[in-house]
């Protein structure tokens, strides 16, 4: 158990002293970029899924 506590302490110490954090404005801008691309990719996947679903339904209607 002491190993886990030591690991957590060292992790927080490293985050506090050795990590270079971005400026708040840059973090906000990058968050918006990630959100926009996530929405775009999810819409693209939804579109492809809908198209393939329609194709498969038509295929099974043909072989009935």
pLDDT per residue as tens digits for the range 2-43: 889 999 999 999 999 999 989 999 999 999 999 999 999 999
Instruction: Please report the DSSP string for the chain in residue order.
Output: -HHHHHHHHHHHHHHHHT--PPPHHHHHHHHHHHHHHHHHHHHHHHHHHHHHHHHHHHHHHHH-
pLDDT tens sequence across 46-62 = 999 999 999 999 999 99
Amino acid 1: pLDDT: 74
The pLDDT of residue 50 = 98
What pLDDT was estimated at residue 2?
Answer: 81
Which pLDDT score, from 0 to 100, does residue 64 have? 80
Residue extents of the structural domains in the chain? 23-64
């Amino acid at each position: 158990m002491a190993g886990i506590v030591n690991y957590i302490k060292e992790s927080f110490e490293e985050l506090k002293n050795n990590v270079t954090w971005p400026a708040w404005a840059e973090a906000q801008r990058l968050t918006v970029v990630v959100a926009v691309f996530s929405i775009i990719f999810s819409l693209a996947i939804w579109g492809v899924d809908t198209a393939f679903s329609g194709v498969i339904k038509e295929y099974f209607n043909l072989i009935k």
